Amino acid sequence: MTGPKNISIKDYTYSLPDERIAVHPATERDAAKLLIYSNGSIKEDIYKNIARYLAEGSLLIFNNTKVIKARIRFQKQTGGVIEIFCLEPYEAINEYSTVMNKKGSVRWKCMIGGASKWKDGMLIKRWGPQVGGLALSAKLIEKLTDAYVVEFSWEPADLSFAEVIGHAGDIPLPPYIKRNTEVSDSERYQTIYAKDEGSVAAPTAGLHFTNEIFEDLSKKNIQIDFVTLHVGAGTFKPVKATTMQEHEMHAEWIDVSVETIEQLYSNIGNPVIAVGTTSLRTLESLYWMGFKILLQPSLKQVHLGQWEVYEEPLINNDITAKAALGELLNWMKRNDLPRLFTQTQILIAPGYTFKIVNALVTNFHQPQSTLLLLVAAAIGNDWEKIYAHALQNDFRFLSYGDGSLLFIS
């Protein structure tokens, strides 16, 4: 199937005035507005009442990744500023925590603002209780096609990289939030259940959830569980290609425990709701990874490319979610894997058939973005009606904005 490859992103656009982009979060997390879409109809409420719209026995899956302080500013002796944005580790890894806990030095793939000013030599940033007491150094190692390799080293060397950037970096607010970071962003640009460090952007649908909402879900016998997908800066990468075939989707690391996959397996048949596009991409990827193993039981590693799900031998199959997840579980047990840690590059666009997820909780996304394509895949052309309603009824857009509960049609 080549349908999604031929999509023109210009068909998935709308006018988003700057004043509709939320620059700050709602005063209270669960006071953000919630648009509910089901079978062509639209309702409005607030997140605090989301449990009212979910069936008893549903399973909600959240992304528990934690945003790291990935933006580090170095001031040169000449006064110029060079900003390094950490994207992902530049080394073979078995789990993210290993990299975040490394001591002494580490190499990362980075974007660099003001790279032309960084001719050579070491950049040094000092911080801490005393000037000169603690220091982070950055050395430019290699220029890649779309980024740079930077080696960080620090003193005292017994600090972990997580501790170092916790001191030296800033929360990486999205480029469309045109203001400096504030102290409150360290809390509000993080979900209350954030656990595993590695993201450079928040899984924003989860920002609206509170302990009170979780209590309401529990009272209604609605289960919750967690996956981890470390969100990369590619989530903001604009689609500049004429057709989607020419756009390269960013690959992201997922980390899912065997217990979570078992929970998902036992809940097939009940409504499965993905909180956020990252959770949805993770859950749908699990199906296809299980299906790939079914085709090749001897696989030692399993990951998912951008277009695989639209091509033979994966397309046009009648393998159930239960069968695919069961095969994935058996493979993990055969290979003594307590967790599935791998990469997915799946692009979900109109023409995609959902295998596991029945509904999506998500914010309102940028025009001409892959996230908007995902929404259109879930609800068809009604995405235009929903976005028009949101614009006409004072919904706030993008990362710190309001959101929606979309039942997949």
Q: What mean pLDDT is predicted for residues 373-395?
A: 98
319 and 349 Cβ atoms separated by less than 8 Å: no
Is residue 203 pLDDT above 90, yes or no?
yes
Is residue 76 pLDDT above 50, yes or no?
yes
> What pLDDT is stored for residue 131 in this prediction?
41
In angstroms, the CA 278 to CA 223 distance is: 19
In angstroms, the CA 216 to CA 191 distance is: 18
In eight-state DSSP terms, residue 241 is: S
> What pLDDT is stored for residue 316 in this prediction?
82
CA diameter of the chain: 64
In angstroms, the CA 145 to CA 72 distance is: 21
Instruction: Kindly indicate the confidence band of residue 236, based on its pLDDT and cuts at 50, 70 and 90.
Output: low
> What pLDDT is stored for residue 409 in this prediction?
83
> What pLDDT is stored for residue 1 in this prediction?
44
Domain boundaries, the chain: 3-66+190-407, 70-169
Q: What mean pLDDT is predicted for residues 154-175?
A: 92
Instruction: Kindly indicate the confidence band of residue 59, based on its pLDDT and cuts at 50, 70 and 90.
Output: very high
Right CATH for 3-66+190-407 from 1.10.150.110, 3.30.2130.10, 3.30.428.10, 3.40.1780.10: 3.40.1780.10
In angstroms, the CA 120 to CA 139 distance is: 8
* pLDDT 10s digits, 13-58: 999 999 999 999 999 999 999 999 999 999 999 999 999 999 999 9
Instruction: Kindly indicate the confidence band of residue 387, based on its pLDDT and cuts at 50, 70 and 90.
Output: very high
In eight-state DSSP terms, residue 183 is: T
356 and 287 Cβ atoms separated by less than 8 Å: yes
Q: Is 311 helix (H, G, I), strand (E, B) or coil?
A: coil
Stronger pLDDT, 78 or 267, i.e. the higher one: 267
69 and 170 Cβ atoms separated by less than 8 Å: yes
Q: What mean pLDDT is predicted for residues 223-240?
A: 86
* pLDDT 10s digits, 286-337: 999 999 999 999 999 999 999 999 999 988 889 999 999 999 999 999 999 9
User: For the chain, what is the total number of helices (H) and then of strands (E)?
Assistant: 9, 17
> What pLDDT is stored for residue 253 in this prediction?
93
For residue 295, CA distances in Å to 289, 302, 315, 323, 397 come to 10, 12, 12, 12, 42
User: pTM of whole model > 0.75?
Assistant: yes
Instruction: Kindly indicate the confidence band of residue 78, based on its pLDDT and cuts at 50, 70 and 90.
Output: confident
- Give which of 300, 225, 298 is closest to 256, Cα–Cα: 225
Instruction: Kindly indicate the confidence band of residue 278, based on its pLDDT and cuts at 50, 70 and 90.
Output: very high
Instruction: Kindly indicate the confidence band of residue 93, based on its pLDDT and cuts at 50, 70 and 90.
Output: confident
> What pLDDT is stored for residue 129 in this prediction?
61
> What pLDDT is stored for residue 232 in this prediction?
82
Instruction: Kindly indicate the confidence band of residue 3, based on its pLDDT and cuts at 50, 70 and 90.
Output: low
First to last CA, the chain: 21
